[in-house]
Structure 1
Amino acid sequence: MLSDEDVLAAVRRRAEERGGAGPASPASPGEATVTRHLLIEGRVLRSLETRTEEERFHQGFVDLSDRPVYGFALDSYRVPPPEDPAVETTLRLVRRGSVDDRSCECGNGVVSCERCRGTGELPCAPAKACGGCQGVASCLWCDGTGRRSRTYGRPDAGQQGRVGRVTCGQCGTANSACADCGGRGRTTCARCGGSGSRACSDCDRAGTVPHRRCGGTARTVTWTEGVVTRSPFDVKVKIASPDLPYGAWKSARDHGAWTDVRVVGPRSSLARDTDAEVAGTLEPWLVRHEGEVARRVTLRHLSLARVTLASDPHRVFFVVPGHNGPHVAAWPSGNRVRLIAAVALAALVTLVVVTRLLA
């Protein structure tokens, strides 16, 4: 970290290079105010573990010989920490003594079809009422009876070519019968062809269907499965004073000589020689999360100096310790920024008023 003398000397050189006046000496009493700002950025990547148990059911044969076996308590099964916390993994285990592999009660994987009761056929009406005439006056001459007994219905020359009428299939009279049923008053069932039965749609005339429980395999396997899941949880860390301008951050990233946060041990804990201020600031970010089994910490920190000069109250200097010496960036002070904003707002209001008066 730069000393106050080094910081003020860097500011003075910056002012002299720009043709301005800097402090009379690097440590003039009352001339400069130096404050320190700790910057920390990076990531904390954790691997979070969850363990669950569930009852599993499988139709047919299943090979569980390659699954790890655990005792009564899943939490007691030890799994090594992951080599890479960024990789999501799932481990499936079998509880000891829980596997039940048995033949199904159906015997051969099939059972009698419930819909047709094992017959393979379903009853069907061989014919149904005609959709065109509904069996009423299907033939103007015989009324569907096939006998020419109604003289008042005899077709004459004016009735020849009656629309929607055909030669009656019952009595043979032309242009007298319903076109849909030919005078019969009913139509043959298209599903069964008039046979009175049709194939069962569930078993397709086989009379049997696969047993639902075993899926037709004649075998079932049940067991208790333990699942150990490890998922990455990545947190971005950025710590600094809330009033620090973006330009100071950019100068620190572009020119700063950052110090990596050193971590040790399988859980990536801070090294004992970590700066006390850095360690105290990072402490809330490194609290162990529930289910955390591993972590990867990639953090760095830098101490930024903020300098205000009594001789130059409108500017603020930020001094960044760099690899090639201190880097100085100058920004308008807060009061200066507010003054500029107020002037700009006043100019805008004046412009609006003048525009309306001239309109």
Structure 2
Amino acid sequence: MLSETDVLQAVRQHIAERGEAPKMGQPTSGEITWHSLLEGTIVRCIETRTENKQLHRGRIDLSDRPRYDRLEQYPLAPPKNPAAALTLELVQRGSVNEDPCPCGNGKVACSRCQGRGDLSCASTTTCSDCRGIDACLRCDGTGHRTHKAPEEARQVAEERVTCKKCGAFEAACSTCRGRGHVTCSTCRGRGVRECPDCDGEGTEPHKRCGGTGLTVAWTEGIISRQPRTEEIKWPESGLPYVARQHARQDGDWRKTSLTHKDSVPDGLEAEFKALLKPRLKPRDGEIARKADLQYLPLARVVVPEHRHRVYYVYPGQSKLRVFILPSSQRTWQIAGAVLAVLAVLYLLSRLLS
């Protein structure tokens, strides 16, 4: 167990190894703050059970699905791997009902054509070129010449043809030939067209049964198991990132792996156990758990003789490791000095420019 005496001795030895003892002196006491580092992951398997009414259009084979009486009582062993997801579909015993549809054969009269198979259609449509406005320059599509022959007719003779209504030469639209309308391309002038919804059959699939003529209804139970991973990093703040990284790389971490069946080992340090227990409490719906966690005690040390330094001490593989960071006061002093140098350089550059 790491003690304050061990921590101060490690700081003294570190100073001696750096050759700083003659110049800086060896500390006789120090202000020690303890940090307990806990890191790792906890994977929990969360189970939910739900029931739903299902309706299938047509026949369906449900023989391969497990049966149950009461979903909450259906036995299912906890997973060996909490990280594995599972969705199990079940059928309530006695709930399957195959019902012939009232439509008989899955067909009903088409709602658009009311079972006729065709729709009314205008036999002609307005000419797309003249839009029925200037179908003929002499009769306006009426067959009675009401206008004099236009002077510009000679200039546009290649665009105009003889009118079928009044016979005027080079006066009619070349597309409709003076009629103002053309035969409908859809019905080809018949006045009716095939219903596009039923392709002229007059019937369409019954929506309730999907055209199958029957439906199958049942009560479905679903058991869903989903993993939830919790990343553990304690403390979340209050410790410099660099110090934590050094401890992560060089520290002699105490590790443990626990499942939902395991209790916290008695051999763990008291602080390690205190950090573990609240994080291993079961969550709602939890049926399995696997925790891989590691623990490292770390001491923050400030000694009166070296106020500009902060020592971080933690167990290493063979001995206590010591890592040094400047104190917050020294950090501000360094930052101020850097800013002062930058200000001087800026003023010099302005004077020389």
TM-score computed with the length of structure 1 as normaliser = 0.83
1:51 aligns with 2:46: no
Q: Could you report, residue by residue, the CA deviation over 1:206-261 in whole angstroms, capped at 9, with x for unpaired residues?
A: 12212122121112112222222222211111113844323322222222111113
1:19 aligns with 2:19: yes
Q: CA deviation at 1:299?
A: 0.5
- The 2-side partners of 1:227 and 1:173 are apart by 81
Q: CA deviation at 1:169?
A: 2.9
Query: Which of the residues 327, 333, 338 maps onto 1:333?
Result: 327
Match for residue 179 of structure 1? 174
Match for residue 8 of structure 2? 8
Would you say the 8 A contact 1:141–1:155 is kept in 2?
no
Alpha carbons of 1:312 and 1:109: their partners in 2 closer, same or farther (altered >3 Å)?
same
Q: CA deviation at 1:353?
A: 6.0
Answer with 90-99 or 294-303: which moved more.
90-99
Would you say the 8 A contact 1:135–1:144 is kept in 2?
no
- The 1-side partners of 2:338 and 2:152 are apart by 100
Alpha carbons of 1:24 and 1:200: their partners in 2 closer, same or farther (altered >3 Å)?
closer
- The 2-side partners of 1:259 and 1:114 are apart by 75
Q: CA deviation at 1:201?
A: 0.9
TM-score computed with the length of structure 2 as normaliser = 0.84
1:248 aligns with 2:248: no
Q: Could you report, residue by residue, the CA deviation over 1:181-214 in whole angstroms, capped at 9, with x for unpaired residues?
A: 3244543222111112111111112122121221
- Alpha-carbon RMSD: 3.4
2:35 maps to amino acid:
H
Query: Which of the residues 206, 222, 226 maps onto 1:227?
Result: 222
Query: Which of the residues 182, 196, 205 maps onto 2:200?
Result: 205
SS of equivalent to 1:201? coil
Map 1:1-359; keep pairs closer than 5 Å. Answer: 1-21=1-21, 30-72=28-70, 74-128=71-125, 130=127, 132=130, 134=132, 138=136, 140=138, 144-145=142-143, 163=157, 164-170=159-165, 172-240=167-235, 242-261=237-256, 263=258, 265-266=260-261, 268-349=262-343
Alpha carbons of 1:127 and 1:121: their partners in 2 closer, same or farther (altered >3 Å)?
same
2:63 maps to amino acid:
S
Would you say the 8 A contact 2:259–2:291 is kept in 1?
no
Alpha carbons of 1:243 and 1:349: their partners in 2 closer, same or farther (altered >3 Å)?
farther
Q: CA deviation at 1:35?
A: 4.0
Would you say the 8 A contact 2:257–2:290 is kept in 1?
no
Would you say the 8 A contact 1:91–1:228 is kept in 2?
yes
| % identical equivalent positions | 42
Q: Could you report, residue by residue, the CA deviation over 1:43-78 in whole angstroms, capped at 9, with x for unpaired residues?
A: 111112222222222111111111122224x33333
Q: CA deviation at 1:301?
A: 0.6
Would you say the 8 A contact 2:137–2:149 is kept in 1?
no
Answer with 204-213 or 238-247: which moved more.
238-247
1:285 maps to amino acid:
R
Q: CA deviation at 1:36?
A: 3.0
Any unmatched runs of 5+ in structure 1?
A: none
Would you say the 8 A contact 1:251–1:320 is kept in 2?
no
Alpha carbons of 1:263 and 1:273: their partners in 2 closer, same or farther (altered >3 Å)?
farther
SS of equivalent to 1:253? helix
2:195 maps to amino acid:
C
